[in-house]
Amino acid sequence: MIAAPGFVKQAKSAARSAGLEVLRVAEYPGAFASHTREELLANTRNILWPQIKKALTEALETRERADRSPMTDDSRLTGSYEELQRVFLDSAAFASASNFHT
């Protein structure tokens, strides 16, 4: 995945939430929309491509594997949509968040 500065952590978090345990992200230097075509091409060739090549060809580092723990049965929710929504709505976390906005 390619992300702009400040969005790398968010990209990895979103991937993990979707079930992808390890996501390597190539970080583009700056805001895409603010660069000219020439800057985009130069940054892609000189900065992004080396990151992408490394991500696709090198083995995972120990820290990339160590940070990942599989879900246990205790951390999974089961039930119908309505049952899960009721648990959420009845939870203290939801009650706290609701009170914050009043």
Q: What is the DSSP string of 61-90?
A: PHHHHHT--PPPGGG---S-HHHHHHHHHH
Percentage, residues of the chain above pLDDT 90: 35
Q: Is 102 helix (H, G, I), strand (E, B) or coil?
A: coil
Confidence of residue 65 (pLDDT cuts 50, 70, 90): low
Q: What is the pTM of this model?
A: 0.57
